[in-house]
Every structure is written in structure tokens, then in C-alpha cells.
Amino acid sequence: MRADTEQDILKTELWWTALVTAVVTAIMLAIIYAGLVHHINPPSNIETVDPKTLHLTGEFTEGNLGTRVDGSQITSRIVATQFAFQPQCIVMPANRTVTLRFATPDVIHGILVTGTNVNTMIIPGYVSQVHTVFTKTGDLLMPCHEFCGLGHSQMWATVRVVPEDEFKPGPDGRVTCDAR
């Protein structure tokens, strides 16, 4: 490497800076491509809900939780509370677009579903929402992945992904793990 004059150094450095810029640009282009073509977005959803009265809201009232089919929409509503999910098992069909909606009445939680890209924080005050397609069938783990208190380690639920033809909603449009 030449370093005889300041000009030499400047020239090498400009080349390197150009390379760095190219790398950063390439990464950004990849992200923009994913956003434009695959519609990849972070799970932003500034939809407020009061944690103090969450259990009275209707949508996130205990009896309304779990998976429900409503026309073409398949939505599962799940509450994360210290230190369990309600319900503790949800059913989802494979290869269909589904929406998961989460809320918490108490503190910060978060979820991921192992082996998938489903991942969101659950913040008191907001409904968290993830749209996804499950491609593999079977029981997947859905742990709480954010510290929520001393019982955090024992807080997890199961996502039961079933083949499309076995996904049969009841007369009220609901599908539960018990019914299967």
C-alpha cells in the first residue's frame, strides 16, 4: 500500500469509502426490495387499548380469545399476562394468511414462534399485530421473550398449525385446541 504522500493516502481512502458506501447501499436496497416486493414491514400498529380495562373491552375479554374465522379473515386474539398466555394453545391453518392480535393488561411482554418470523413486542397500551403465513404443520412453541417479572421463564403457549383441510371452524366461527 502506498503512503508516500498525503495524496496517495487520500486516494486509497476515497476508494475504500466508495466501497463502504456501496456495501451500505446494497444492504439498503435489499431491505427496500423486500419491502416493495414481499411487503415486509416491522409489526408497527399504533392502535391503543387501555390496559387497565382490557378485560372489559369485548375484543380482548376472556371469552373472545383464541382463533376465529370471519369470512375470509382468520384472526387469533391472545392476551399475554403475568405469567401465562390466554389461551395457552391456539390453532392456525397452514398456508393461509392469518392475523395474530396481542394485548396485555399488565406489563411488557413479547412473543416469538419458533421456526418462523413471527415476532413482536407486546406493550401495555397497544394492540400488537402480526400478519403471517405458517408453512409447516405441527406444534410450535410461542414463549414470552421479554422479561415480565419473576415468572417469565415459565410463560409460553403452543401454536398448533394444522393442514388446511383439518382446520374446521365451529358454528360460531371459532377453532380451539380442545375441540380437536
Partner 1 sequence: MTHARRLTLAHLWVAFAAFAIAAVLGVWQMWARSPLPAPYLTAQAYFTSVTAHGVSMAYVLTTFMVMGFGYYVAETTLGRPLPYPRLAWLGFALGILGTLMAAATIFAGNATVLFTFYPPLTASPFFYIGLVLVVVGSWIWCGLMIVAMLDFKRVNPGTPVPLAMFATVANAVMWLWTTVGVAAELLFQVIPAAFGWNEAIDVGLSRTLFSWTLHAIVYFWLIPAYIAFYTMAPQAAGGRLYSDTMGRLTFILFLIYSLPVGMHHLFMDPQQSSAFKFLQMSFTALVAAPTLLTVFTISASMEIAGRLRGGKGYFGWIAALPWDRPMVLATGMAFFMLWFGGGGGLINMSFGMNAMVHNTSWVTAHFHLIFGGTVVIMYFAIAYAIWPTLTGRQPASLRHQRLQLWLWFIGMMVMTLPWHYLGLQGQWRRVATFNYADPVIAGWGPWVIVSFAGGIILLASALLFVWNLLEFHRDRAVVAPEHPPIYALAVHPPNRVPAALNGFALWNVLVLVLMIAAYGYPIAQFFIIDAPEAIVHRVTGGG
Partner 2 sequence: MKPAELREIDRPWRIWASIIIVSILAFSVVFGFLILPIVQGRAAGLDAFTAICRAVGILPGSPAVRQPTSEAKAQPTTQVAWSTDLIRSLGQSTPAGAEVAQACVACHGERGIAADPQNPNLAGQSGVAIYKQLHDYKSGSRVHEVMNGIAQGLDGRQIIDVAAHFAASPRRDLDPTTAEVVDEDIVRLVERGDPARGLPACNSCHGFNAGGPMETPTLSHQNREYLARQLHAFRSDGRRNDIYTRMRSVAAKLTDREIDKLANFYATTLSY
Among 12, 53, 117, 135, binds partner 2 (CB under 8 A): 53
Please tell me whether residue 32 binds partner 2 under the rule CB under 8 A: yes
61 forms part of the interface with partner 1 (CB under 8 A) = no
Interaction of residue 1 with partner 2, rule CB under 8 A: no
DSSP the chain: ---SSHHHHHHHHHHHHHHHHHHHHHHHHHHHHHHHHS---------B--GGGGGGSSTTSGGG-EEEEETTEEEEEEEEETTEEESSEEEEETTSEEEEEEE-SSS-EEEE-TTSS-EEEE-TTB-EEEEEE--S-EEEEEEB-S--STTGGG-EEEEEEE-GGG----TTSEE-TTT-
Tell me: does residue 131 bind partner 2 (CB under 8 A): yes
Asked whether position 22 contacts partner 1 by CB under 8 A, the answer is: no
Does 82 engage in binding with partner 2 (CB under 8 A)?
yes
Contact status: 114 vs partner 2 (CB under 8 A): no
Among 75, 119, 137, 176, binds partner 2 (CB under 8 A): 75
Q: Which of residues 106-165 bind partner 1 (CB under 8 A)?
A: 106-108, 110, 112-115, 117-129, 141, 143-154, 156
Which of partner 1, partner 2, none does residue 18 bind to, with CB < 5 to 8 Å depending on kind? none
